[in-house]
Structure 1
Amino acid sequence: MDTPIWAVLPKRYFKMKWFVFRNNTVEPFFDGKTVAFSGYDDVSVVPTEAEGFIWFYQVPVKFSSGVLAQEIRSITEKLQLVVGEIGTKPLVVFTMENLVDLKLVTSDMAVQEAIDSFNATARTLAHAHSHVKVVDFSEFTKRYTSQQLIDWKYYFISQSLLNPKIAKDFKVWWHRIEEELALCRKKCLVLDLDNTLWGGILGEDGAEGVKIGGDYPGNAFLYWQRGLVELSKCGVILALCSKNNEADVQELWDANPFMALKREHISAHRINWQSKDQNIRELAEELNIGLDSMVFVDDNPTERELVKQTLPMVAVPDFPAKPYELVDFFQSLVRDYFRIYELTHDDVDKVNQYKANAQRDAEQKRFAQYDHYLRSLDIEIRVEEANDFNFARIAQLTQKTNQFNLTTHRYTEARLREMQAAGSQIWCMSVSDRFGSYGISGVMIVNPIDATVAEVDTLLLSCRVLGKGIEHAFVCHMLQMLAKKGYQSLTASYLPTAKNAQVKD
C-alpha cells in the first residue's frame, strides 16, 4: 500500500486539522492542506497528530441486500472501535444516507434497518461521549437530485460516489458546520417592521389594520414571528430598526392580539427617522457587540443596499418578495447565521442578560460619578475550575472572544478536556450584580512549567463585563490562587491581533 504524504512530511509542513475515515474517494470535498485521509475501509491507522477526526462512510454500492446490510453492520463496529481509539479528540460522524437505492424487493427493509441502526448507534455514542458529534448529512444531500449527487463516470474511474461537481457547495456547507461545532454564530438579528414583521404600513393602516394572523398574508407573517420568538429563546438577540413613530409601535403591541413577537423578546430598538446605518451603529454600541456579529433584515432593497455599502461587516440577506416565502427565508437565516451544535446555559439566558444591561445603563444615568454607580451594583464574581457543566461555555468563549483576549487561542471542548487531563489549570469566572447574572464571562488557562513557574495560555473576558474593574479583580484573585498552590513566577505573552489591542497593557 502506498504511504500517504502526510505520514512522511515533517509536521511543520503539514498541520493535520482533520483525519477522515472513509470508504470512498472524498478528497475533492476537503481542504488538502489541513485534511488527511484513511485508506478505503481502513481504521488500522489513527494518527496521533490529528487535531480531530471525521467519519465519512456512506452506503456501499451492492445489489445483494443481505451482503450490504452485513457490511453496514461491520461499518458500525468499526465506528465503535475508532471511538475507543481516539481518546477525547473531536470525532464528527456524518449520518449514513442511502444515496443509491438498489432495492430489488419492495418489502426488503434489511438495508434500511442497518442504516437506521448505524445512525442510532452514532447518536448513542454522541450522548455518551462529549467529543463525538453527529452531523445530519441528509441536510446537504437533499438539496440535489440523485443525478446531481452521483456521476457514475467518476464512481467507476475514481471510486468517488459523490459527484465532484458539487464539491464547492459541500465546502461551503462544511465550513458552516465547523462554525456550528465551535458554537460560533452571529449574535444579533436587527429587524425592520413595516412589511417585514407584519404586512402593511403601520402609519397608514393603523395598529389593527396591519396584516398579522388570520388569512394570507397575515398567517405567513405570524409563522415568521413565531420562528423569531423561538430564535430568541435560543439566545439570539432581537433588535428593531424602523422608520416609524415609536408611539404607534407601542400602541400596536398593546392593541393587536395577534402579535407573537412581544416587547419582552426585544433587547434593544431604534424606532425613529434617522438613517438605518446610524441606528445600527447605535444598537451595536448599546448592546456592546461588534457590527460583524449582526444580521440586518429589511424588506426595502434601498435600505439594504445602504447598510451593505456603509456597514459591509453587517450581514444583509435578501428579503423574500412574497410572504409565503418567509418560512424558507427563516430556515436560511438559521442555517446561514444562527444555528449552533448545542446550546449553553448562557446562550439560553442571553436575552435576559442584555435586558439587564439596559437596566444598568439606565441606572448609570442617575449617578454623577462612575465609581458611585459601580458600588451601587453590588458586583459579585465566582471563580471555579472547568467541569462537565461549564466546558462547553469555556470553549465557546475561546472561540468567539476577540477584544479582551490575551492570546486568542481557540479551543474545542474536547481539546480543553485533553489539556486539563495533561495538567493545564482551567478556570472560569461568573459575574452577577443586583440586576442579574452576566453568566460565565471570563476564562484563564495556566500551564505549569515546573513546581514554581507557570505560564498563562489564555486570559479573556467578555466585553459585557469590561470597564467595571472586574478584569483587575479576576487577575488578582487568580494570582492569589496560584500563589497558594506554590507558584512563585507567572509568565504571559501578548499575541496581537486586529481586535485585541485593549488587553495589551
Structure 2
Amino acid sequence: MEFFIFRNMTIERFFSNYKTSFSGYEDISFIDPDAERYIWFYLAPIKTDNKVISAEIRNYIDLLKLTISRIPSSKTFIIFTLSDIYSINTITGANDIKEAVKYYNSTLHELALEHNNIKVLDFENFLSRYSSTELIDWKYYFISQMALNPRLSNPFHDWFKKQVKSIELKRKKCLILDLDNTLWGGILGEDGIEGIQIGGDYPGKAFLMFQKQIEELGKQGVILAVCSKNNIEDVRQAWSLNNSIVLKENHFAALKINWVNKADNIKELAQELNIGLDSMVFLDDNPSERDLIKTVIPEVEVPDFPTQPYMLPEFFKSIAEKYFSIYNLTSEDLSKTKQYKENALRNNVKSTFTDMNDYIRSLEIELSIEEVNNITIVRAAQMTQKTNQFNLTTQRYTDTDLSEMLNDGAKIYTLSVKDKFGESGITGLSICKLNGETVDIDSFLLSCRILGKGIEDAFMNWILNELKLLNFKAVNSKYISTAKNIQVKDFYERFGFEIISESGSIKSYSLNLGDVQINLSDNYKYNYK
C-alpha cells in the first residue's frame, strides 16, 4: 500500500488514483505499519460555534504530534496545511479561527524542521484557484461528510501528483529560450537594440517581469540556455548596450544563436550539457518552431506560448509549477549554471592535450568522499531521482528511504569533485548494504557533469579499497539495463567482477576482494572525511 491517510472528513475520492487506506475520522488509534508513506489531511471542522472550531483546530496539533511520535522516522509523512473552507464570522473583530489556523500551520513548519521525514504541502495553493462557492457541494457533505466538492477531485489529482514529484525531487533540468518575441518584444535584427520592447511601458514591462521570473528559476538550479535564429554579434551587442535586459550572457550555460534549424541546435545543446532531451523544456513564440520540436524531438516539453504579453505571468506560473517545482534546494542546485560553464572550460582545455593522463593531471582534481549525513542526504536522494545515464541500477529513493537504510547499517558514500576550474559539488553516490562479511552495492551513480575524466573508475576503486580495509570479503552488485544507461553495461567487469547470473535486463555480479589488487590512481587527490 502506497499511502495510509489520517483524515477528519471523507476524502477517498481525492486519492482514488493511489493505493491507499484511511483512518477513521479524527482517529489515530491505528497506524498501518505496512504503508510506504503517510498523509495527514485535515480540514477546519464545519460547526456553528467559532470558539469550538478554533479549539478543535488546536487539538488537531496535539493529535498530530502524538501520531508523529508513532510513525517511523524513515518513512515520509506528508502533511497538508489546514484551510478554513467554510465558517461564518458575524463578530468582525473576532479572529479565533484565523488565529487557530495560523497557529496550526506555523506549527507544521516547525515540526518539519525537527523531523526530516515530514513534508508540508501548502493546500491553500490548490484551494486558491476556486471561489468559496466552488469548494463545497453541500449535498455531498450532508450525505457522506465530504466537505470538499467531489468535482475538484480530478484537478486535485493533477496538483497532488506534482507535489509528490517535487518531494521526490523530480523536475526538468533545463529551460531553453528563444529571444525575439519571447524574452523581449520585437525582432532584434529588424527593430534594433533600442527598438525591442523590454522594460518601460506595456508590453515591455511584461517581458521585463518574465525575464526576472526566469532569472529566479536559474538561481534555483534550473539550467538556462538560448536557442535563437539571430546573429550572435547582434545579440551580444544588445546584452552589452541595452540595460533593460535582465538575462545577459552570463545567465546562460550554453548558447545556440545561429541560423541552423532549432531541432539540430537543441540536440547539440543536450550533448554539450550532457543531459537527456527529456529533461528539457523549450519556449518559443513561433508555432512552426514549436511544432518542429514536437515532431522531431518529442522528448522535449514544448508548451504553447501565450499570444499576448499580458498573459506571460500566468504562463510562467504554470510552467514553473508543472516542470520545475522542487520541495527544497541543495547547494549544488544553487550553482548549477556556474558548474556547467566550468565544464565547458574543461572541455576547451582537453582539446589542447594529446595524452589523457596529462590532461587529467593538469586539472588538479580532488575527490572528497564522505558518508552521508543530515545535510547531504537530500542531495544524495536527489541524485537517485535525477541520474539516468551513469547509473548502474536506477533505483529511486527519497531522503527518508536513505535514512531507513542508514538505520539498517548501510554505508552511503557521497563524492564531491573539485578542480582548478571550480567545484562540482556532490556528483557521485554509492549505496553499500552490509550483510555479514559481504557487501551489496545497491546503487552506484555519477552525474554526467563529471564524466570523461576517469573519476568513475577512481571512485569505484576507492570504494573497493575502503571495503577491503574494513575487512569485508566479497562484494555483490547488479547492472539493471534501461534505455538510458547502456554506457555502463560492462562497468563492473572492468574491476574483475564475475557475472554470476544474467536474466532479462539484470546482470548480477560478485567479486572476491581477496583476489584483486586495488590501485588508487595518482591522477587524483583523495580526501576522506
User: TM-score, normalization: structure 1?
Assistant: 0.94
The 5-angstrom pairing of residues 310-459 of structure 1 reads: 310-450=296-436, 452-459=437-444
Describe the SS at the equivalent of 2:479.
coil
2:241 is aligned, of 233, 252, 255, to 255
2:453 is the counterpart of 1:465? no
Structure 1 residues 76 and 97, CA, compared in 2 at 3 Å: closer, same or farther? same
1:54 is aligned, of 23, 28, 39, to 39
What is the identity, as a one-letter code, of the residue corresponding to 1:114? A
Structure 1 residues 31 and 401, CA, compared in 2 at 3 Å: closer, same or farther? farther
Most deviating of 371-380 and 453-462: 371-380
What residue in structure 2 maps to residue 504 of structure 1? 489
- Tell me how far 1:374 sits from its aligned partner: 2.4
Most deviating of 362-371 and 375-384: 362-371
What residue in structure 2 maps to residue 3 of structure 1? none
2:198 is aligned, of 207, 212, 224, to 212
Kept in 2, the 8 Å contact 1:62–1:102? The answer is: no
| CA-atom RMSD in angstroms | 1.3
What residue in structure 1 maps to residue 477 of structure 2? 492
What residue in structure 2 maps to residue 149 of structure 1? 135
Describe the SS at the equivalent of 1:494.
strand
What is the identity, as a one-letter code, of the residue corresponding to 1:66? K
- Tell me how far 1:399 sits from its aligned partner: 1.1
Count of matched residue positions in the alignment of Structure 1 and Structure 2: 489
Structure 1 residues 488 and 125, CA, compared in 2 at 3 Å: closer, same or farther? same
What is the identity, as a one-letter code, of the residue corresponding to 1:236? V
Kept in 1, the 8 Å contact 2:174–2:279? The answer is: yes
Most deviating of 383-392 and 409-418: 409-418
Q: Hey, what's the Cα distance between the residues in 2 that align with 1:500 and 1:267?
A: 24
Describe the SS at the equivalent of 1:405.
coil
Q: Hey, what's the Cα distance between the residues in 2 that align with 1:294 and 1:390?
A: 26
Q: Hey, what's the Cα distance between the residues in 2 that align with 1:249 and 1:366?
A: 29
1:300 is aligned, of 286, 289, 299, to 286
What is the identity, as a one-letter code, of the residue corresponding to 1:21? F
What is the identity, as a one-letter code, of the residue corresponding to 2:324? F
Q: Hey, what's the Cα distance between the residues in 2 that align with 1:36 and 1:377?
A: 55
What is the identity, as a one-letter code, of the residue corresponding to 2:61? T
Deviation string for 1:413-446 (max 9, x for gaps)? 1221121022111111111211111211111111
Most deviating of 218-227 and 286-295: 218-227
What is the identity, as a one-letter code, of the residue corresponding to 1:100? Y
Deviation string for 1:98-135 (max 9, x for gaps)? 11122232222111111111111111101121211111
What residue in structure 1 maps to residue 499 of structure 2? none
Deviation string for 1:126-169 (max 9, x for gaps)? 11212111111011111112232211111112221112222111
1:104 is aligned, of 80, 90, 93, to 90
What residue in structure 2 maps to residue 269 of structure 1? 255
- Tell me how far 1:197 sits from its aligned partner: 0.7
Q: Percent identity?
A: 49
Q: Hey, what's the Cα distance between the residues in 1 that align with 2:134 and 2:295?
A: 36
What is the identity, as a one-letter code, of the residue corresponding to 1:259? I
Kept in 1, the 8 Å contact 2:17–2:157? The answer is: no
Kept in 2, the 8 Å contact 1:430–1:440? The answer is: yes
2:38 is the counterpart of 1:63? no
The 5-angstrom pairing of residues 100-249 of structure 1 reads: 100-249=86-235
What residue in structure 2 maps to residue 22 of structure 1? 7
Q: Hey, what's the Cα distance between the residues in 1 that align with 2:382 and 2:21?
A: 26
Kept in 2, the 8 Å contact 1:94–1:134? The answer is: yes
- Tell me how far 1:324 sits from its aligned partner: 1.6
Q: Hey, what's the Cα distance between the residues in 1 that align with 2:2 and 2:453?
A: 38
Structure 1 residues 227 and 33, CA, compared in 2 at 3 Å: closer, same or farther? closer
- Tell me how far 1:183 sits from its aligned partner: 1.5
- Tell me how far 1:32 sits from its aligned partner: 5.5
Deviation string for 1:47-82 (max 9, x for gaps)? 221221111000111011111111111111111111
What is the identity, as a one-letter code, of the residue corresponding to 2:457? H
What is the identity, as a one-letter code, of the residue corresponding to 1:344? T
Describe the SS at the equivalent of 2:368.
strand
1:36 is aligned, of 15, 21, 24, to 21
What is the identity, as a one-letter code, of the residue corresponding to 2:479? Y
Q: Hey, what's the Cα distance between the residues in 1 that align with 2:367 and 2:190?
A: 51
Structure 1 residues 458 and 195, CA, compared in 2 at 3 Å: closer, same or farther? same
What residue in structure 2 maps to residue 280 of structure 1? 266
Contiguous gaps of at least 5 residues in structure 1: 1-15
Kept in 1, the 8 Å contact 2:42–2:80? The answer is: yes
- Tell me how far 1:33 sits from its aligned partner: 4.9
Deviation string for 1:349-396 (max 9, x for gaps)? 111100101111222222234443223222221110001221010000
- Tell me how far 1:503 sits from its aligned partner: 2.1
Describe the SS at the equivalent of 2:480.
coil
- Tell me how far 1:497 sits from its aligned partner: 2.2
What is the identity, as a one-letter code, of the residue corresponding to 1:463? C
User: TM-score, normalization: structure 2?
Assistant: 0.90
Kept in 2, the 8 Å contact 1:24–1:159? The answer is: yes
- Tell me how far 1:37 sits from its aligned partner: 1.3
Most deviating of 47-56 and 383-392: 47-56
- Tell me how far 1:335 sits from its aligned partner: 0.6
Describe the SS at the equivalent of 1:71.
helix
Q: Hey, what's the Cα distance between the residues in 2 that align with 1:163 and 1:191?
A: 39
Q: Hey, what's the Cα distance between the residues in 2 that align with 1:111 and 1:413?
A: 35
Most deviating of 148-157 and 297-306: 148-157
Most deviating of 155-164 and 199-208: 155-164
2:273 is the counterpart of 1:290? no
Describe the SS at the equivalent of 1:493.
strand
Q: Hey, what's the Cα distance between the residues in 2 that align with 1:404 and 1:76?
A: 44
Kept in 2, the 8 Å contact 1:192–1:240? The answer is: yes
What is the identity, as a one-letter code, of the residue corresponding to 2:193? A
Describe the SS at the equivalent of 2:400.
helix
Kept in 1, the 8 Å contact 2:78–2:119? The answer is: yes
Structure 1 residues 229 and 32, CA, compared in 2 at 3 Å: closer, same or farther? closer
Kept in 1, the 8 Å contact 2:136–2:149? The answer is: yes
- Tell me how far 1:191 sits from its aligned partner: 0.3
Contiguous gaps of at least 5 residues in structure 2: 491-529
Most deviating of 389-398 and 417-426: 417-426
